[in-house]
A = this chain, B = another copy of it.
Amino acid sequence: MAPALELLPKAEDIQALPSKAVNAISNAINGNGAVQFESAEKHQRVLNVFRAFIADLVQQYGDGHPGAPMGMAAIGIALWKYVMKYSPTNCNYFNRDRFVLSNGHACLWQYLFMHLVGVKSMTLDQLKSYHSTDPGSLCPGHPEIENEGVEVTTGPLGQGLANAVGLAMATKNLAATYNKPGHEVVNNMTWCMVGDACLQEGVGLEALSLAGHWRLNNLCVIFDNNNVTCDGTADVANTEDINTKMRATGFEVVDVYDGDSDVVAIVNALNSARHATKPTFINIRTTIGVGSKQAGTADAHGAALGVDEVAKIKRAFGLNPEEHFHIPQDVYDFFADVPSRGKTHEAEWHAAVAKYREAEPVLADEFDLRVAGKMPADWTKCIPAKEDLPTNPTASRKSAFVVTDKLGQNVKNFLVGTADLTPSVNVAYKNKVDFQSPDLKTVCGQTGNYAGRYIHYGIREHAMCSISNGLAAFNKGTFVPITSTYLVFHLYAAAAVRMAALQGLHQIHIATHDSIGVGENGPTHQPIAVPALYRAMPNMLFLRPCDAEETVGAYIAAIEHDTTPSVLALSRQNLTQFPEHSSREGVKKGAYVFVEEEDFDVTLMSVGSEMAYTMAARELLASEGIKARVLSFPCARLFEQQSREYKQSVLKSRAGKPAVAIEAYPSLGWERYADASISQNQWGKSLPCKEVYEHFGFSGPSIAEKVRGFVEEVKREGIESLRGDFRELNGGPSLGVEHPNVH
């Protein structure tokens, strides 16, 4: 048991004492089981070997990042030898402490510690494959989730920090849901290493605000404060008072002044986080590239130090400059106790779960399912049948709610969040409980607790999606985050959603206020061009359903593709329902025949809110003797996964008849399936929904007129005239603006 908090001196005060004098106090701070520190001399020996090895690794191919791994060596000893609870021989055991390297370019640091503590896959040869031509390397230039011992893929700065907030939330939510007095089956910490960049990037700042608000006292952010960025000293672009700022953001702040070598001070600071009532920010002063002539400068950041310099470093460290990639046995011995301690952690957890099963058999079964990353088998009961869907005009944001409501109420895997658009995005399921710190009740009257699964992210779309990556990465399937905002604000979040697609994380993004149909809010809120990004992105589903049935189909596809993030683009405005044409099975194939027509003159393909205009145009064309078949195209990516036979049966391209795509988004991509398009290749306008569509030529009559002209032209000139001459019936991609800035 940890000692009572108020009896402990603050880690901050202890820093003032020489490290040898503080062991007794440290042992108190370090709580359950006093830490048995090795000598300062031994620590220095390990630091020297570690730093020389890093210098060797980067020198090998003359490229990489040596500075931060060398500077952070003492922090690494503190974490991997003394502080973190983990099991190097079973990196994925459920209740492990999570570690995130948000400054991912420092990955060699993590790789080398993984090797030293005995992660099996991280062999000496693997370490040496960093920056090599080996496509099977487990040591890529930034940490990747696929590899043993890596919790999340990091690299784009700030993302890892927000991911860590998600990982800490995951623990809080599970603990509040399943732990019972005397039975803690989830209680891991999340440790996140950051550099200057993560504290400058907006996504990091957003996530820190939330961590402070939520009082995530199981999160410890460790700042490698080396005061150096690529452009020079960090004060070239940053002179803020970070400690004061972090305190104002809701963090405990602890300083460590000698981060280059004072392992004991670092351990004390880190372990103080285990007793904090808030998240902890440890500000550790280090020297980038310490020991090299480039020490303390930007030159140490992203380039090899030089052959001679590496030799010099080794000599200064008392090592043999002729020996490369050398780890003496005594350094291995230093870490030798880690695997057995890891096995003890595992065994303790298994024992706790066994005891829990006796006390709470029902909850334990559910907990098992969560650990296995599974949903309850009857989740499909949350999906409404076609006959239960509305037939009157209904916005797809409302149609989606029918599913969200049931999932939110019944399936604990789903954490449903919004970037402050509860009144608009329709994700607030019945009887929702907010995810909040219970302390907030007295602070400001906010209700909720950590078992709550409705998340108010504030106006922070980027953090929302990046935190969701952390939630999804906690343990595959344990959480399936649902986010919500307007589609246009997904551009704020795109860098995070991209990381989900890259990592194969399962999550569902409810993106409402799709298309120019947004209306009066105007062009700033009309998400022109956003779909192109997600449609081009590998391992991403961008689904744009045309009515309630298709919306249900899109939701099913998003749930079933469990290594792919999905974006559901949903309308603000009411949509005509097509119960006789639309099909959830069709959605799962990406595109399908909506209305067949024998002996047709033209194929019209449409999607989302433009389907109603397309169907209206079909009627008008029919009255003029032009027969149009209609395809619905909610997701081109899914269509591309179908057989060539299926695709041809839908497209009928070889029938020698033209095809026109109709969508109020840029035409980019439609050229694959159509000969012409009626597209929105310019910015939108502030007008009510119906008028903005009409203004830009999206109405039954306007579409019919353009299609008629095109069909007649093709009849006149022959289908072959279309080759390499895609027609923009609504105006092509534009340059310039109507009223350039007049100031």
Contact = CB atoms under 8 A, between A and B. Distances in A.
A156 interface: yes
A244 to B, nearest CB: 4
Interface string A505-546: 100000000000001111111001111110111110100000
Contact of A135 (B204, B536, B673, B685): B685
Interface in A63-82: 63-64
Given A458-B238, A688-B131, A691-B135, A541 B155 contact: no
Interface stretch (A341-349, A403-411, A708-716, A721-729): A721-729
Contacts of A476: 740-743
Contacts of A238: 209, 213, 458
Given A156-B525, A472-B741, A653-B724, 5 more contacts: A92-B743, A133-B691, A210-B237, A245-B245, A505-B741
Contacts of A434: 236
Contact of A499 (B135, B505, B524): B524
A418 interface: yes
Contact of A142 (B142, B472, B522): B522
Contacts of A473: 741, 743
B463 A202 contact: yes
A125 interface: no
Contacts of A64: 520
Contact of A249 (B245, B492, B498, B499): B245
Contacts of A61: 688
A532 B665 CA distance: 13
B742 A146 contact: yes
Contacts of A561: 735-736
Contacts of A200: 206, 209, 458-460
A269 to B, nearest CB: 21
Interface string A430-453: 000010000010011110000000
A327 interface: no
A442 to B, nearest CB: 12
Chain B CB count within 10 A is highest, among A418, A666, A741, for: A741
A565 to B, nearest CB: 11
A177 interface: no
A522 B144 contact: yes
A392 interface: no
A695 B135 contact: yes
Interface stretch (A8-16, A26-34, A419-427): A419-427
A501 B733 CA distance: 13
Given A141-B686, A200-B459, A538-B683, A563 B736 contact: yes
Nearest to A524: B155
A717 B658 CA distance: 21
Interface in A662-715: 665-666, 668-669, 671-673, 681-683, 685-688, 691, 695
A734 interface: yes
B201 A492 contact: yes
Contacts of A36: none
Interface stretch (A226-234, A573-581, A608-616, A617-625): A226-234
Interface stretch (A47-55, A318-326, A329-337, A640-648): A640-648
Contacts of A232: 422
Given A523-B502, A564-B735, A725 B446 contact: no
A528 B537 contact: yes
A315 interface: no
Contact of A563 (B445, B463, B532, B741): B741
A331 to B, nearest CB: 27
A634 interface: no
A178 to B, nearest CB: 18
A247 interface: yes
Given A420-B230, A735-B561, A528 B532 contact: no
Given A64-B520, A235-B446, A736-B563, A668 B742 contact: no
Chain B CB count within 10 A is highest, among A63, A213, A239, A525, for: A239
A563 B735 CA distance: 8
A202 B736 contact: no
Contact of A669 (B640, B669, B683, B736): B669
A446 B234 CA distance: 10
19 contacts: A141-B519, A142-B524, A144-B523, A203-B492, A231-B418, A236-B456, A237-B460, A240-B249, A473-B743, A498-B529, A502-B523, A504-B741, A528-B538, A532-B532, A532-B533, A538-B666, A636-B733, A644-B725, A652-B724
Contact of A422 (B157, B231, B644, B659): B231
A146 B737 CA distance: 10
A462 interface: yes
A203 B460 CA distance: 10
Given A476-B741, A488-B156, A524 B248 contact: no
Contacts of A671: 669, 671-672
A239 B443 contact: yes
Chain B CB count within 10 A is highest, among A521, A636, A653, A683, for: A521
Contact of A683 (B502, B528, B529): B502
A419 to B, nearest CB: 9
